[in-house]
Homo-oligomer: A and B are copies of this chain.
Amino acid sequence: MTADPSPPVRLPEPPTRPTLTREYLAAAALALIDAHGLRKFSMRKLGTAVGFDPMAVYRHYDDQEDLFDGVAETLFTEVNVDTLPWDGPWRELAQNYCLRLRDTLLRHPQAVPLFATRPVRSPASIDTGVKMLTKLSDAGIPPAQGLRIIRCLREFTIGHTLAIAVTKLGADQRSRKPEPGSPDYNLLAEAADATTLDDHFETGLTAILSGFEQSARMR
């Protein structure tokens, strides 16, 4: 409590040593996974990549499982659900959500298997689920049915994105076309040429939504 009346000396900015945070580490981990693939990632590489001890990550995350949960959360944040059309009709909202989730994940194909194999438990994603459910509820859809719709859409979106991602990544290292000798090669090749790897996503989404709407009308 010894007050100093003279104006405090204005020191120059000290050389700041960057501090590790959970968020920064998760973002850095995602960048490493994007760059070199999930297989090549390691806790030690992350620590050294951010300029710290190989073990530094353990002061912020319990273990790799915990860190990967953080990476999944980073991905979910990138979806930026706040800017979805929450005031429009629920079908538009749901469809936009799925498209956004797909686009976000496809920007990080190497991380899709990580995201897809993790149960949703982050508060942010649970919160989004609740908001969506409320929206459907306001439109007259009972919660049980609403939950079914949301789960179906989410599962289709992730299944689709996963298929695209692993095909894209696998294609780099191995061959993918069936041998042209096969008798039915023409049918498959013709079909595969006529439809790109992902042009069926919106078709599928629409089908699910129409299907549910139809079953609602028949109830």
A134-177 interface code vs B (CB 8 A; 1 in, 0 out): 10010000011011100110111111101100110010001010
Tell whether, in the assembled complex, residue A188 and residue B158 are in contact, meaning their CB atoms are under 8 Å apart: no
List the B side residues contacting A82 at CB < 8 Å. Answer: none
A14 an interface residue at 8 Å Cβ cutoff? Answer: no
Q: Known A152-B156, A155-B156; judge A162-B207 contact (CB<8 A).
A: no
Q: Which of A26-34, A46-54, A73-81, A116-124 contacts B (4 or more CB under 8 A)?
A: A116-124
- Minimum CB–CB distance from A132 to chain B (whole Å) comes to 11
Interface of A is mostly: helix
Tell whether, in the assembled complex, residue A207 and residue B211 are in contact, meaning their CB atoms are under 8 Å apart: yes
Tell whether, in the assembled complex, residue A163 and residue B167 are in contact, meaning their CB atoms are under 8 Å apart: no
Bound Cα distance from A182 to B131, whole angstroms: 12
Residue of B nearest to A113 (CB): B117
What is the count of identical protomers in the complex?
A: 2
A9 an interface residue at 8 Å Cβ cutoff? Answer: no
Counting chain A residues whose Cβ lies within 8 A of the other chain, the interface size class is 35 or more
Tell whether, in the assembled complex, residue B170 and residue A119 are in contact, meaning their CB atoms are under 8 Å apart: yes
Bound Cα distance from A56 to B151, whole angstroms: 43
- Minimum CB–CB distance from A151 to chain B (whole Å) comes to 6
A199 an interface residue at 8 Å Cβ cutoff? Answer: yes
Tell whether, in the assembled complex, residue B148 and residue A187 are in contact, meaning their CB atoms are under 8 Å apart: no
Residue of B nearest to A170 (CB): B119
Q: A214 is contacted by which of B162, B166, B210 (Cβ under 8 Å)?
A: B210
Bound Cα distance from A206 to B184, whole angstroms: 29
A20 an interface residue at 8 Å Cβ cutoff? Answer: no
List the B side residues contacting A200 at CB < 8 Å. Answer: 147-148, 151-152
Known: A116-B117, A119-B176. 13 other contacts (CB 8 A): A116-B116, A116-B162, A117-B162, A119-B166, A119-B167, A143-B187, A148-B195, A151-B200, A152-B207, A155-B159, A158-B159, A158-B163, A210-B211
